[in-house]
């Protein structure tokens, strides 16, 4: 089932979501919701989807960055972003700790459809969460994977990338593709200095 993705301006996107209980996580409703969120994310297509984006103020997000979404990106841009395939993951009640340097890259969002901007994010993140069955999971995310985790966790805290973006970089996805996508990020930042 494809779910409706809410757009910026919906109040639920600005609320801190509530944690899920163990009983809720194991319920048929949440298990079905996880599958529907996976289908919706893949169909969009996107690399992450948080429950507030579909109108539910609960701490649940799904992420996946399959190789086929990366095939049209130049190898040097993939390397610059630290972008490698990420298998499907469910993040429930996530707590993250960022570490190390930050880097700016263009980021988009299914709830800000058609737009993108430069966003600084940590290159490393330690994640503690529950998986789809409510089991504790800890992992370290790096590069683009860390960016996705931070982006989706922001949704669970009532934030959008718009709150973190370099405002001069805000662009349509069409213009991102036309003017900025193939340039090294340092060149993009240099051209957009405020």
- Residue range 114-165, pLDDT digits in tens: 999 999 999 999 999 999 999 999 999 999 999 999 999 999 999 999 999 9
Number of H helices, E strands in the chain: 6, 6
Domain range summary for the chain, segments of one domain joined by + = 11-111+119-165
Known catalytic residues? 152
Residue 88 has pLDDT above 80, yes or no: yes
In this structure, whether the domain defined by 11-111+119-165 belongs to CATH 3.90.45.10 is answered with yes
pTM of the model: 0.96
Distance of CA 20 to the CA centre of its chain: 20
- Residue range 16-25, pLDDT digits in tens: 999 999 999 9
Instruction: Point out which residues pair with 160 in neighbouring strands.
Output: none
């Amino acid at each position: 089932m494809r779910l409706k993705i809410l757009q910026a301006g919906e109040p639920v996107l600005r609320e801190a979501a509530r944690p899920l209980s163990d009983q809720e996580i194991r319920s048929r409703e949440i298990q079905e919701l996880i599958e529907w969120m996976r289908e919706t994310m893949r169909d969009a297509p996107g690399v992450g989807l948080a429950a507030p984006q579909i109108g539910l103020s609960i701490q649940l997000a799904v992420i996946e960055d399959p190789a086929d979404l990366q095939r049209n990106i130049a190898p040097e841009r993939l390397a610059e972003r630290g972008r490698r395939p990420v298998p499907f993951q469910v993040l429930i009640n996530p707590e993250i700790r960022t570490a190390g340097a930050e880097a700016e890259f263009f980021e988009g969002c299914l709830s800000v459809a058609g737009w993108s901007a430069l966003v600084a994010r940590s290159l490393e993140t330690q994640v503690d969460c529950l998986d789809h069955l409510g089991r504790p999971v800890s992992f370290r995310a790096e590069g683009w994977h860390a960016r996705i985790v931070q982006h989706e966790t922001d949704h669970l805290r009532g934030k959008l990338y718009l709150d973190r973006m370099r405002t001069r970089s805000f662009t349509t996805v069409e213009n991102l593709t036309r003017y900025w996508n193939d340039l090294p990020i340092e060149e993009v930042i240099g051209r957009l200095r405020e």
